[in-house]
Structure 1
Amino acid sequence: MLSAIQIIKTIILITTGSCGIILNSWIVAVHLSHRKKGVSLGDCDQIVLIMGVTNVLLQGLLTFSGIIENFELYEHFTKEFIFVIDMFFLFLTFLWIWLTAWLAICYCLRLVNISHRFFIGLKKRISSGITQLLLGTAVILGIINIPIFWTLNIKAKQNTTSTLPVNFIISDSDIKYMSFTAAFGCCLPTLITSLCMGLSLMSLLKHVQRMKQNHSQSWSGKMKTLARACMTIFLLMALNLFFFLTIFHIILSKFKIDSNGNTLIFCIIMASPVGQVLILLFGNSKLRSDLLKTCF
């Protein structure tokens, strides 16, 4: 007989799992269909495509892990297998945050008028090598996460207070190493995202100032695009930071959370990929129109 908490978690698993996988798969399918038709994808579209793929993998992984955790199926899997799943989850989380940083950079370079030669050169390099940049980011994050296999000791789960299927024995040196990976995987891209968002906001404020000087009350198309881009990047950054802080809180607490906190954290983690795809739909009018055409 399922408990009330298990029923709640099952509903969350079904809702977030189906919505997250369907919506993100749809985003991937739309961009791939455009490429098949010979339409060249821009920098931002390529990043959104990889975001969709990452979210499909992340949502599928979260749903799989959630089923194991909710129905206590640990004995059917070895602790090494569960450990690999959790490490792959950390890799996808870091990649998720870095993709937001690259998207913020592309938005900033596209929308902000900066005549300095450095920014002009940077824009050309990113435009011509976005695929290599994304691939390089994934490779570097993979290399950084590999040593975790040797820094953490694991044992089978023996209590019900842990939020993940295995317990980790974490030493002070492990915390230092994981702090480094957190700094590179989360803090650095979040700082980059914040900088880009700040530059975009400054450009938006300059446009508003010009409007006041010209006594114009109507928003130009570029101003609307700037405002929507700023809001999109802010929401993505806030979601990513909140998501990662939740994960890092689990790590620092050595995966021992009370039952109420466990359920809340379960909801936050499971809903995060869905939240990201909704933010992307909010910030991309073309995607929204394609979705409406598909549904109706």
Structure 2
Amino acid sequence: MFSNKDIFTIVITAEFIIGMLGNGYIGLVNWIDWIKKKKISSIDYVLTSLAISRMCLIATVVLHGILTTLYPDVFENSKILIIVCSFWIFFNYLSMWFATCLNVFYCLKIANFSHPLFLWLKWRTDRVVHWILLGCFAVSFLVGIILAPIVSYGYRFHNLIKDSKNITEMFHMSKIQYFEPMTLFSLFAMVPFIFSLISFFILIISLRRHINQMKLNSKGGRDPNTQAHVKAMKIITSFLFFFFIYCVFFLLVSYSYLITEQKLAMMVGEIVAILYPSGHSVILIFGNNKLRQPTFRMLTCR
């Protein structure tokens, strides 16, 4: 019989391999295409940056999961815990913002509006994509600096009460301890989530207007523009779904010490959390023609 630790190790290793291969494949294909054509589109540039950040995020989450569940004594050294958690926070927000940029870029490229502001954004983003990604890097780094001391304080505070037999007192003190960092996490995470949600609704409005125009012009069938809208909406929907699940189970990992089966809760939280950077990247591969075609060739190769 396999123990919980054995199952956790097998599953998290499989997720690590899939996530690294998927994101590595995205980066490799775009890099080869960049070398061949001597140029890269803004979406491919963002997609490559997202793949690299997610590889770092997956590695950090797996490292955190292995240390907390299999080698908990390592985190007795608060400095190691602070370093690992700081990297997790940084790469978490970096990949989150890069994914949001990808969703917004999809929206600007595909949606059709004649409003001057929308047209200006569509024209401008391609020219400032480097600065946008650099800004995402700076914001993520700043968030990591803000939350790192809170993680340090929370660890020391939890050490003082973890042996307490008064569960009510422990829960009350822990709520006070974690209210600020979890509130900050939720507030910071809501910003990119809202941007992606706005992009999704803009695409819906644009698609609706496009379909109405086709009806007026007596054109039937699914033209390339309609298919592009639907494909972009599917990608953004998958991001919103995986990101929501990720946030929920990130909170589960953070509050796992309040649950009787702490280690089991943490294992489940870590396993599901990795689905976000791994699963969404797989969907990106099958939703991108340039990435999908080599994949099908490899899968059908005999």
TM-score of the superposed pair, with normalisation by structure 1: 0.86
8 Å Cα contact 2:61-2:274 kept in structure 1: yes
C-alpha change, 1:38 and 1:180, in structure 2 (3 Å) is: same
Identity %: 19
C-alpha change, 1:136 and 1:170, in structure 2 (3 Å) is: farther
8 Å Cα contact 1:93-1:244 kept in structure 2: no
What is the CA–CA distance in structure 1 between the aligned matches of 2:277 and 2:181, rounded to whole Å? 27
What is aligned with 1:22? 21
Letter of the structure 2 residue corresponding to residue 58 of structure 1: L
1:269 has 2:269 as partner: no
Out of 248, 252, 259, which is 2:251 matched to?
A: 248
User: Between Structure 1 and Structure 2, how many residues are aligned?
Assistant: 284
The structure that is helix-richer by fraction is: 2
Per the TM alignment, residue 188 of structure 1 is displaced from its structure 2 partner at its CA by 0.9
What is the CA–CA distance in structure 2 between the aligned matches of 1:187 and 1:273, rounded to whole Å? 18
C-alpha change, 1:22 and 1:139, in structure 2 (3 Å) is: same
Per the TM alignment, residue 170 of structure 1 is displaced from its structure 2 partner at its CA by 5.7
Matches of residues 111-122 of structure 1 in structure 2 within 5 Å? 111-122=110-121
8 Å Cα contact 1:12-1:270 kept in structure 2: no
C-alpha change, 1:139 and 1:104, in structure 2 (3 Å) is: same
Letter of the structure 2 residue corresponding to residue 12 of structure 1: V
What is the CA–CA distance in structure 1 between the aligned matches of 2:205 and 2:19, rounded to whole Å? 34
C-alpha change, 1:41 and 1:247, in structure 2 (3 Å) is: same
8 Å Cα contact 1:100-1:237 kept in structure 2: no
- Provide the secondary structure at the position in 1 that maps to 2:37: coil
What is the CA–CA distance in structure 1 between the aligned matches of 2:86 and 2:174, rounded to whole Å? 14
What is aligned with 2:105? 106
Per the TM alignment, residue 171 of structure 1 is displaced from its structure 2 partner at its CA by 7.0
Which region of structure 1 is more displaced relative to structure 2, 41-50 or 67-76?
A: 67-76
Matches of residues 87-98 of structure 1 in structure 2 within 5 Å? 87-98=86-97
8 Å Cα contact 2:19-2:277 kept in structure 1: yes
What is aligned with 2:170? none
C-alpha change, 1:262 and 1:99, in structure 2 (3 Å) is: same
What is the CA–CA distance in structure 2 between the aligned matches of 1:125 and 1:230, rounded to whole Å? 22
8 Å Cα contact 1:94-1:141 kept in structure 2: yes
Out of 188, 193, 198, which is 1:195 matched to?
A: 198
> 1:259-287 deviations in whole A, cap 9, x for unaligned?
34333213201322211211211321211
C-alpha change, 1:148 and 1:263, in structure 2 (3 Å) is: closer
Which region of structure 1 is more displaced relative to structure 2, 111-120 or 285-294?
A: 285-294
TM-score of the superposed pair, with normalisation by structure 2: 0.84
User: Unaligned regions of 5+ residues in structure 2, if any?
Assistant: 164-172
